[in-house]
Amino acid sequence: MITFQRIDGTPVYYWRSSRGNTTLRNWQCTQAFYDKLVLWVRDLRSLSSAYGSVTYLVSAGFYVNKPGQHGAGTAMDLDYVRWSGGQVSSPLDQHHASSTASLRKRYLAVDAVCRRRFRYALDGWYNSAHADHIHSDFGGLPVLCVKSSESDTKFVQAMCNNFRGSGLAVDGIWGTNTQNAFNGAKSALGITGDPHSSSAAWQSMLSKIATKGFANQTF
Amino acid sequence: MIGAAGLAAVAAVGPGAGLAAATAEVDICAGVAVVGDSPQVLCRQNSRWVLIGDDGVAKATTGLAGALVLDVATDARGALAAGSIDGEAALWSSADGLSWREVLRLHGRRSVFTAIASNPSEAMALGSDLSGEDVPQGTIAARRLGVNWSLGAVTGLAATAYVTTLAVRRGGWLAGAIGSQETVLHVSSNGTTWSELAAGRLDDAAVQGVLDDDGSVRWVGNAIGGSAALAGTVGAGRGPAGVPDRSHAVGLVRTHRGRVSYWLLDGRLQTAEVR
């Protein structure tokens, strides 16, 4: 395990005990996971560059002394992102369920950026335990869009609803309606290749979803 | 909290483990249990489970190949272990802590046992059914009354939290369940119906060991926001655990030396007395 306070220079705070606290914490994770976090935050900066720089991140934990990926030091719970332009995305405030469409799109953009680097990204649609953070870990790699995955399917359904008004039930079941909506989104974004079998195709699709989400655009 | 002491360099003995491995580090530790008269820590070293006593000597075990062990407990018949194998929850027992045999396995069920404890008349293990993404989605419980283990239902424990510690208390059981921002301590008189312990919500703490001394509940664990090593008493605060801050809590046992907490730091075991 390594200890860090910032990811590639961006400070990471902890707000669960005191919202707004800017005391730096000594987080831990494996070197391999930290290296992936660096790639992730660089993706985030690049895809949201119109917001300015990422001023700080807020997390609910990386290494946590419990079973599973957190206990292995290969997971992140993301609570909040703040940009220098003043924009925020707050899983902590359940922005996935916000009545403001732009906040939901921005949440999906951050979600998509997580999925570019981490296969198991568990968000507010996944279950109630993840209503207030986005969990990302090393499980299930490589990154692909897997139809049998509840997490991937719910993300696709929520994405199609929020960007394309697909009106899907977000139930994690990949049926005909979800397939048709996914095909429409893929076509609208100009994705070539198969996101179910090609990591590059899925990462390309996620980048375009993120770009649209940060720009508050439908497609 | 006083008395932090590094154990002697872990020396490996047993089949296939020569002196060349005398300073080998361990990567994870399942927990600590008093086996016979002394505390023993079950740890994984080079993909093998070893038992480490207070002398720092690591002894090879048998019967745990391929297992992920997450907790161990003192038992009137020796020791018990809880975890999973091939993604299926499993329990093991051992008379000496070295030779283990599987006593329960939930075949075909994506699950894991995460905590185990026993009193003179019975033993209990708690764990979780896991989703396709390996997160808890339901509590599982197994009891041993007499010889055989059987599954049973429990109520009052959050389905999405990992139960990481289980202990015997006067008149029942004490369990700690970790969510995304706290550990919630629960008590039960019958092992089936659980309720929150008063003042038992431990914010920003992932608890890995508890001891109940006639209602005074000591605990050890790590912060969730930053993972600092912590020790505390329910209702009476918390503080540094008496070990380096980066240490990971392994467990807490009562020994002839008093209450002793066990920690893992950079592959080495550390101990600290808990007052």
Which of B:61-90 have CB within 8 Å of A? 70
Helix (H, G, I), strand (E, B) or coil at B249: strand
Q: Is B225 on the interface with A (CB under 8 A)?
A: yes
Residues of A within 8 A of B160 (CB-CB) are 127-129
> Which whole number is the average pLDDT over B82-111?
97
What CATH number did the domain enclosing B22 receive?
2.120.10.10
Burial class (CB in 10 A: 0-12, 13-18, 19+), A215: middle
Tell me what percent of the residues of chain B surpass a pLDDT of 90.
Answer: 84
Average pLDDT of the residues of chain B: 91
Find, among B44, B32, B53, B81, the residue nearest to B261 by Cα: B32
At a CB cut-off of 8 Å and minimum separation 6, what does A99 contact? none
Give pLDDT, residue B22. Answer: 38
Q: B-chain residues within 8 Å CB-CB of A59?
A: 225
Instruction: Please say whether the beta carbons of A24 and A14 come within 8 A.
Output: no
Q: Is the pLDDT of residue B186 over 80?
A: yes
> Measuring CA to CA, which residue among A165, A164, A163, A161 is closest to residue A153?
A161
Q: What is the pLDDT of residue B3?
A: 39
The pTM is what? Answer: 0.93
Is A20 near chain B, with CB under 8 Å? no
Q: Is B133's CB within 8 Å of A122's CB?
A: yes
B248 contacts in chain A (CB < 8 Å): 65
Q: In the structure, what pLDDT confidence band is assigned to residue B17 with cuts at 50, 70 and 90?
A: very low
Annotate B103-124 with DSSP letters as a single string: EEEEEEEEEEEEEEEE-SSEEE
Which residue from B133, B224, B245 is facing A60, i.e. has the nearest CB? B224
* Concatenated DSSP letters of B180-238: SSEEEEEEESSSSB-EEEEEEEEET-EEEEEEEETTEEEEEEE-SSS--EEEEETTS-E
Chain B (155-184) residues lying within 8 Å, Cβ to Cβ, of chain A:
160-162, 164, 178-181
Confidence of residue A85 (pLDDT cuts 50, 70, 90): very high
Using DSSP, state whether B56 is helix, strand or coil.
Answer: coil
Contact A26 B226 (CB under 8 A): yes
Element (H, E) at A39: helix A31-47
Q: Do B227 and A69 make contact, defined as CB atoms within 8 angstroms? A: no
What average pLDDT score do residues A131-150 get? Answer: 96
CB contacts < 8 A, A to B, total: 93
Tens of pLDDT, residue by residue over B200-251, are 999 999 999 999 998 899 999 999 999 999 999 999 999 999 999 999 999 9
| Nearest-CB residue to A150 (from B112, B132, B248) | B132
Give this complex's ipTM.
0.92
Report the length, in residues, of chain A. Answer: 219
A86-102 pLDDT, tens digit each: 999 999 999 999 999 99
Best probe of the B interface among A18, A65, A119, A141, by most B CBs < 10 A, is: A65
Q: Show residues of chain A in contact with B134, CB under 8 Å.
A: 68-69, 120, 139
Å between B221 CA and nearest CA of chain A: 7
For all residues of chain A together, what is the average pLDDT? 97
The token pair at A51 is 């917001």
Comparing B1 with A68, which gets the higher pLDDT? A68
Domain range holding B121? 2-273
Q: How many domains does chain B contain in total?
A: 1
A67–chain B Cβ distance below 8 A for any pair: yes
Q: Is A132 on the interface with B (CB under 8 A)?
A: yes
B252 CB within 8 Å of a chain A CB: no
Tokens of A164: 């394309």
Per-residue pLDDT of B126-177, as tens digits, reads 999 999 999 999 999 999 998 899 999 999 999 999 999 999 999 999 999 9
Spatial CB neighbours of B264, under 8 Å, sequence gap ≥ 6: B26, B28, B29, B43, B247, B248, B250, B270
B27 in contact with chain A, both atoms CB, cutoff 8 A: no
Give residue B24's pLDDT band: very low, low, confident or very high (50, 70, 90): low
Closest Cα to residue B73, out of B258, B256, B253? B253
- pLDDT, position B202: 97
